[in-house]
Structure 1
Amino acid sequence: MTSAPLAAVTGAEGFIGSHLTEALVASGHRVRAMAQYNSFSSYGWLETLPSDVLDQVEIVLGDVRDPGSVRGLLDGADCAYHLAALIAIPYSYQAPHSYVDTNVTGTLNVLEAVRALGTPRLVHTSTSETYGTARTVPITEDHPINTQSPYAASKAGGDRLADSYHASFGTPVVTLRPFNTFGPRQSMRAVIPTVIGQVAAGQRTITLGDLRPTRDFTFVEDTARAFLAVGTAAAEQVVGRTFNAGTGGEISVGDLVALIGKVMDAPLDVQEDSARLRPAASEVMRLVADATRLTTATGWRPASTLEEGLARTARWFTDPANLARYKTGIYNI
């Protein structure tokens, strides 16, 4: 009897990582999930997954900045999904060295482990922020890279390493570049949980940064399916390639707030907080994906509309047990 394939996931305790872990188990995988080592032995969002899911998950504490941790995680894996990263753009202005350590050196450690162990496939996570403000829309994978924050620069550095390992050593890496993912369990460092969290906590005056930028928002379950799609597709379709994952639609932050107010049946007054504004030259004003390459290669398409995803996210955040995990009254960077 053939055992289920083993998927190794870095960043599994996080927002997208925990949803990917669920999706992998649902698709018949065993999962070895790395949560960042901490003195509380916390497994992050993995602790909230149903017991029948966790029965198929081996959770290990480690750190992608440590080569030994990474090699132990990947040993024997059929596919590695590398999601571990520092992602908050405002904090990257304060701690750029940390972003390089995690997003560049951490990625190097994963690539080295894949190469040494002969892991059959690595799915590396990029970000639409590497494109910067759109020069042409929708954004294809051939759009120029224009990193407007230390976070974006660190992610682009990891991307370039992944490309170079495929070119130099034949490392079987595929890069997925999600646009703005949202949904249950997301950090308050992102705009949708910031708004929904404030509304769920009873606030009707919402404090935000710039309302003009537009984004392409993808529901987290669709993003998780995109990871699965490139992780399980035939190698000749995906290995050595970069794929956008997005809906092809865009909405401004201001219009997004209005839509959230509609979904949550709450009249909202929005106030701009200068502390939440990015430096002017660092703000990415427009992002909208062209995911044709991903659809052609794997058949992936988003299943949820923005309004459907917002409704599901709002229901999750308005559960008192979930909302209690968040600090809605402060600016989370």
Structure 2
Amino acid sequence: MELAQQRVLVTGADGFIGSHLVEELIRVGADVRAFVFYNAFNSFGWLDHLPNPIKSQIDIVSGDIRDPYVVREALRDRDIVFHLAALVGVPYSFHAPQTYVDTNIKGTLNVLQAALELEVKRVIHTSTSEVYGTARFVPITEEHPLHGQSPYAATKIAADQLALSFYHAFAVPVSIIRPFNTYGPRQSLRAVIPTIIAQMATGARRIKLGSLRPTRDFTYVKDTVRGFTAMAQSDSSVGQVINIGSNDEISIGDLVQLITEVMGVEAEVEVDTDRLRPLTSEVERLWADNSKARQLLGWTPEYHGRDGLTRGLRETVAWFTDRANLRGYKPYMYNL
């Protein structure tokens, strides 16, 4: 399915990945409706920061993914829905698990039910590598057991299974994209890469972090967005769960060293106990097997290996060190 002229809805369009996806969909000629979280400030999140020629082409709808009526109205007359709206921070899920259930599970149900009733052509549901928990084998294939080590991960597992149930029970054309740790411009400081960069960009030379031991498969946002569009364009992805990752891993400790090299500064790490996950909740290792994406979607990461990660970090550092961008962050605070 070509995306040009397709009528699409992007939930969570005001967020990090969602805003990048909206940009790309406009670029390829899709008719884009962006579902953003309602607030009294009339803020459209990161969509407010897009260039005017792009913003002028977006139909922005404010609402709450937890409201089934609002979701159904947003989906009316759409061909494709990219469902990204979710609460994504792991630490905050320890404090507010009920909110994660309401948003991630019930919000997904609202999208699926509306898609069923309105006969939407495609539903691209967003999963996360956190559903795997600590790797039992690497690289992690889509057949790896699911293990919810946080309320966030548990709600995403539930949402994924709910999405698959609508495919099996009602023939809703659902595809599940499972990105590994996406990074890049506009990401919040709940994630480790912008946390490191933003602290150093404001002059800190003692970087506060949690555990340095875990490894992650970092995927640049441009590659993740290409994964979303490839999922929508491939009929082979219907009914499938597909990893989007770089097929590489790096420890947080080694990541810090790489970022200091990219930024040309020296820094020490101070382990902040407030940032440590509960002992058995920490996901110690993530490393994606992306062969299914290659086979079904023709997708491969353009930013892969150490060279690709370095290139992505350079682009990310350039964005965060722009004073106009950095001004919107509070690097001195721990962002749950």
The answer for the alignment partner of 2:32 in structure 1 is: 31
Pairing of 1:1-333 with structure 2 (within 5 A): 4-233=5-234, 235=235, 237-304=236-303, 305-333=308-336
Distance of 2:230 and 2:202 partners within structure 1: 37
Distance of 1:16 and 1:158 partners within structure 2: 19
Distance of 2:7 and 2:53 partners within structure 1: 17
Q: Which runs of 5+ in 1 are unaligned?
A: none
Distance of 1:88 and 1:295 partners within structure 2: 29
- How many Å apart are 1:56 and its aligned residue? 1.9
Distance of 1:247 and 1:228 partners within structure 2: 17
What whole-Å deviation, never above 9, does each CA across 1:259-303 have from its counterpart, x for those lacking one?
000000011111101110000100000000001111111111111
Distance of 1:280 and 1:6 partners within structure 2: 45
Q: Which amino acid aligns with 2:239?
A: G
Distance of 1:15 and 1:58 partners within structure 2: 18
- How many Å apart are 1:68 and its aligned residue? 1.1
Distance of 1:69 and 1:47 partners within structure 2: 22
Q: Which amino acid aligns with 2:288?
A: A
Q: Which amino acid aligns with 1:149?
A: S
What secondary structure sits across from 2:294 in the alignment?
A: helix
What secondary structure sits across from 1:7 in the alignment?
A: strand
Distance of 1:33 and 1:301 partners within structure 2: 27
Distance of 2:74 and 2:291 partners within structure 1: 33
TM-score with structure 1 setting the length: 0.98
Distance of 2:230 and 2:53 partners within structure 1: 23
What secondary structure sits across from 2:314 in the alignment?
A: helix
List structure 1 segments (4+ residues) > 3 angstroms apart after TM superposition. Answer: none
Distance of 2:225 and 2:49 partners within structure 1: 17
- How many Å apart are 1:53 and its aligned residue? 1.1
What whole-Å deviation, never above 9, does each CA across 1:83-127 have from its counterpart, x for those lacking one?
000000000000000000000000000000000000000000000
What secondary structure sits across from 2:125 in the alignment?
A: strand
Q: How many residues align?
A: 330
Distance of 1:106 and 1:329 partners within structure 2: 32
Q: Which amino acid aligns with 1:12?
A: A
Distance of 2:74 and 2:203 partners within structure 1: 43
What whole-Å deviation, never above 9, does each CA across 1:36-94 have from its counterpart, x for those lacking one?
01111100000011111112210110111001111111111111000000000000000
What secondary structure sits across from 1:107 in the alignment?
A: helix
Distance of 1:23 and 1:101 partners within structure 2: 29
Distance of 1:325 and 1:18 partners within structure 2: 16
State the percentage of identical aligned residues: 54
Distance of 1:204 and 1:330 partners within structure 2: 15
TM-score with structure 2 setting the length: 0.97
Q: Which runs of 5+ in 2 are unaligned?
A: none
- How many Å apart are 1:4 and its aligned residue? 1.5
What whole-Å deviation, never above 9, does each CA across 1:3-59 have from its counterpart, x for those lacking one?
821110000000000000011111111110011011111000000111111122101
Distance of 1:171 and 1:243 partners within structure 2: 17
What whole-Å deviation, never above 9, does each CA across 1:129-150 have from its counterpart, x for those lacking one?
0000000100000000011000
Distance of 1:64 and 1:127 partners within structure 2: 18
Q: Which amino acid aligns with 1:13?
A: D
- How many Å apart are 1:204 and its aligned residue? 1.1
